[in-house]
Structures are given as C-alpha cells and as structure tokens.
Amino acid sequence: MENWDVMKEIDLSEIGDYVRALHCGIRWKIIEFLRDSPKSSDEIFNHLVELSEEVSEDMNNCKGECKNVIKKNLKKPTLYYHLRELESVGIIKLDEYKPSEQKRAPEKVWKLNMEKLTINLK
C-alpha cells in the first residue's frame, strides 16, 4: 500500500473533524471497500447499492440497525458528499482520474490514505 500515511496521530483539538467524518455508517462501508485496492466512484456507488439491496432483504435480522447504515435509493450526489467528508480529513484521497466509457468527464478513483489513526488524549 504505497503512499499511505501509515499512521496518523491526532490530538483532542482535531478529534471533532474525525468524529464528523466517521460518524456515518456508510463511510465505514466505503473505507472497508477501499481496503484492498483503489476504486472508482462508480465502483463504490455500485458496491453500496448492492449492500443496500442485501440489507433491505435481510431487514428482519438487523433489529432496525441496518437501515441507518445504508439507506435504500442511494444517489450519486449523496455518495460524493460522503467521499468529500472522508477526503477532508485525509482518510481517503484521489488516486487518479479514469477515462469514462460513456464519453463523460473522467471518473475519480479513490484510495485509503492511512492505515491507522491514533488519538492522543493528553
């Protein structure tokens, strides 16, 4: 995993930014999906849509917790909002632009930017 900030250390003055970026379950799903390799915005979107379908089929077993993690009918602007929040604190970063197959603007490819986040409490 090249070009990672292997470990990021933050103090209490920075914790609010990270709490804001990580408070949402869908962002944790994005992080999990990016663990193995960089992914395009479309790949991330399609993965989350698949997860939302699995969650909606299995709602009886989740005791109401899953519906708050991945909402049904995810839209691309919502995905971009979540990606920007993770990027704003350096958890993910833009890796490259991938040419679009449909003659649209190039697609962003995202990757994790750190392996470990440590909070100094003193």
Average pLDDT for 14-23 = 90
pLDDT at 96: 95
pLDDT 10s digits, 25-49: 899 999 999 999 999 999 999 999 9
d(CA 88, CA 111): 13
The residue to which tokens 């603007």 are assigned: 105
Which 3 state secondary structure label does DSSP give 48? helix
Cβ-Cβ contacts under 8 Å for 99 (sequence gap 6 or more): 106, 107
Q: Band of the pLDDT at 4, cuts 50, 70, 90?
A: low
Q: pTM of the entire structure?
A: 0.79
Q: Nearest CA to 42 among 91, 114, 101?
A: 101
CATH architecture assignment, domain 5-120: Orthogonal Bundle (1.10)
The pair of structure tokens assigned to 51 is 């997860």
Q: Residue ranges per domain, the chain?
A: 5-120
pLDDT at 66: 46
